[in-house]
Amino acid sequence: IQGGDGGGPGLAPQGLSDITRAATEEMAVSVTFDGGYDADEAEAILDALKERGIRTTFFLTGIFIKRHPDMVRRIAVDGHEVGNHTMNHPHLTDYADTRSHKRLSWVDKGFLRGEITGAADAFKEATGAEMAPLWRAPFGEVNMEIIGWAREAGYLHIGWTADTQSRQTLDTLDWVADKSSRLYRSPSEIKERLFNFGRHSNGLRGGIILMHLHTERKTDKLSSILGDVLDGLSEKGYRFVKVSELIQQDERLKNLTAGMESQLTGR
């Protein structure tokens, strides 16, 4: 859950956390990509990353893996880190209806473990490798109870960075296709938001950016300016890292990553 300081990870009781940002003085940032169902943007995204020698973190569902095994194998071969996005991309809380995060009645520990295990098994079958011990809840629907269940299964929850005070977010909203929606952002607007994030404070340091491998947009796709975004941030001095590397720079998270170092550094 996002911390009240509008930037740091929201550390919860008993060491459970929704990690949304790492505290670091380095000019390091993670550009993460979610793959739920389709992969129409994946090839262009992977090409842009490979051209620049960037290795980052992808969160994939089991459905995505089974639909696009060749693409998933390329993600792994290109050296990217792959985290868990559940098997079927289900809603876990009632946020869509109530704007709260009360767990849905059918979601229990067994249900969540099945979703996580299903995706991990699909990835192992497709690539022969293990997923990183990181996961991201579909739709960002999560609460401390659910985070705790996943932690028991060996997974840390990774959200994305938002500053509640300035109302800035590193959710690019690249998936919004309806230009009449208040959530719609053109590629140039997305670029501007990323470049200006935290400009009066700590910038993008330790930030986690959210992008997607699919869009229903016919034009104005994020992939059309992804290269410009990566190049522009590089020119500003930012270094792109995997989420596992980012969070290990934060001394406050040592208690969360204790015992997971070999899994995190082995990717």
pLDDT(255) > 80: no
pLDDT score, position 261 = 63
Asked whether the beta carbons of 88 and 62 are under 8 A apart, the reply is yes
pLDDT score, position 115 = 98
pLDDT score, position 87 = 98
In DSSP terms, which residues pair with 103 in a beta bridge?
Answer: 93
- For tokens 């090409």, the residue is 47
pLDDT tens digits for range 160-217:
999 877 889 999 999 999 999 999 999 999 999 999 998 888 899 999 999 999 999 9
pLDDT score, position 165 = 79
- For tokens 């959530």, the residue is 183
Provide DSSP, 50-98: HHTT---EEEE-HHHHHH-HHHHHHHHHTT-EEEE--SS----BSHHHH
204 Cβ partners below 8 Å, 6+ apart?
27, 29, 170, 194, 197, 198, 233, 238
The number of beta carbons lying within 10 Å of the beta carbon of residue 113 is 15
Provide DSSP, the chain: ---TTSSS-EE-GGG-EEE-B---SS-EEEEEEEESS--TTHHHHHHHHHHTT---EEEE-HHHHHH-HHHHHHHHHTT-EEEE--SS----BSHHHHSS-PBPTT--HHHHHHHHHHHHHHHHHHHSSPPPSEE--GGG---HHHHHHHHHTT-EEE---EETTTTEESB--TT---TTSTT---HHHHHHHHHHTTTTTTTTTTEEEEEES----SSS-THHHHHHHHHHHHHTT-EE--HHHHHTT-GGGHHHHTT-HHHHHT-
Between 94 and 265, the higher pLDDT residue: 94
pLDDT score, position 249 = 86
Q: Across residues 210-234, what is the average pLDDT?
A: 95
**What does the block give as tokens for 184?**
């719609």
Say whether pTM exceeds 0.85.
Answer: yes
Q: Across residues 18-41, what is the average pLDDT?
A: 94
**Which amino acid is present at 166?**
S
Asked whether the beta carbons of 34 and 212 are under 8 A apart, the reply is yes
Q: Across residues 221-226, what is the average pLDDT?
A: 93
Cα distance between residue 7 and residue 21, in whole Å: 6
- For tokens 């505290």, the residue is 23
Residues in the chain: 267
pLDDT score, position 200 = 80
pLDDT tens digits for range 239-250:
999 999 999 888
pLDDT score, position 265 = 65
pLDDT score, position 158 = 96
Asked whether the beta carbons of 224 and 211 are under 8 A apart, the reply is no
**What does the block give as tokens for 258?**
């204790």
pLDDT score, position 7 = 31
pLDDT score, position 196 = 94
Asked whether the beta carbons of 51 and 24 are under 8 A apart, the reply is no
pLDDT score, position 266 = 59
Greatest mean pLDDT among 135-144, 158-167, 242-251, 257-266 lies in 135-144
Q: Across residues 216-240, what is the average pLDDT?
A: 95
pLDDT(3) > 50: no
Ramachandran assignment for 140, one of left (phi > 0), alpha (psi -120 to 50 degrees), beta (any other):
left
pLDDT score, position 16 = 55
